Structure 1
Amino acid sequence: MSEHAPDHERFLAAVPALPVSDVARAVAFWVQVLGFTELVWDGEPTGIVRRDDVEVHLWAADGSAPGAERHLAGSASCRLRVTQVEALYARCVGHGVVHPRAPLRDQPWGDRDFGVLDPDGNLMTLYRR
């Protein structure tokens, strides 16, 4: 069977789920700094943000349950493919959130990328192929 056959299982998207110490603060970062919109159902904010085709889930690493230990906040990373990486870089520099060791640069594998730290220290790499 060919890997492109109609009945072949395919992965179509990934949604990063990042551990944060304060969901409201994390949502504000994604909305104010990166231009995402918070998703709300029945008037309740959820810790889910979306911009274009990218959705990110933000969950409380608050010690309330096994697997949600506080030390997990800030331990994650993800890569987000974007257009206009230079404009996003300028925006993030203006907000002071660019990782000090991850400025805008061309990578040997062909990506142009830079790193951003959220308030907890989770790393997001924004890149253009």
Structure 2
Amino acid sequence: MLTAVNPKLPMRDKNVTREFYISKLGFKEFGSADFDGYLMMEKDQIQIHFFEFKAIDPKNNYGQVYIRTDNIDDFYQSALENNTNIHPNGPLETKPWGQKEFSVLDPDNNLLTFGQSI
């Protein structure tokens, strides 16, 4: 039986990625081991894993994750208070498919979309 999914996204710099997810989105580092070229971040019940890909051109990175939440308004407000850059095409809004969503790009251009059913 499936119980969880942990997406793996590319990162160029582990320290930059770690800092973004902690300071902008409120994640914390998962686990106690510091693996070379690998990072695991966690918030609530969500984990995102990152693998080192120093040569990736962020303009050609199409990594994407859709993360569901049960309190989109508070999470959006927290992102704004942390000076998180909201994607120009992804401000908080209600979509025709019955989701309230917003999107951000991380330092490596991975698109994170957060959504809540309405």
Aligned residues: 113
User: 1:83: Cα distance to partner?
Assistant: 2.1
Equivalent in the alignment of 1:53: 45
Give 4+ residue runs of structure 1 displaced > 4 Å after superposition. Answer: none
Equivalent in the alignment of 1:14: 5
Q: Is 1:35 aligned to residue 20 of structure 2? A: no
Letter in 2 for 1:23: K
Bigger Rg, which one: 1
Normalising to structure 2: TM-score of the pair?
Answer: 0.84
Higher relative contact order (CA 8 A, sep 6+): 2
Does the residue aligned with 2:30 lie in a helix, a strand or coil? strand
Aligned equivalents of 1:75, 1:20: Cα separation in 2: 12
Gaps of 5+ in 1: 1-9, 64-69
RMSD, aligned α-carbons: 1.9
Alignment partner for residue 90 of structure 1, among 55, 64, 77?
A: 77
Alpha-carbon contact 2:18-2:41 (below 8 Å) kept:
yes
Aligned equivalents of 1:120, 1:39: Cα separation in 2: 20
Alignment partner for residue 93 of structure 2, among 93, 99, 105?
A: 105
Letter in 1 for 2:16: R
Normalising to structure 1: TM-score of the pair?
Answer: 0.77
Gaps of 5+ in 2: none
Equivalent in the alignment of 2:14: 23
Does the residue aligned with 1:99 lie in a helix, a strand or coil? coil
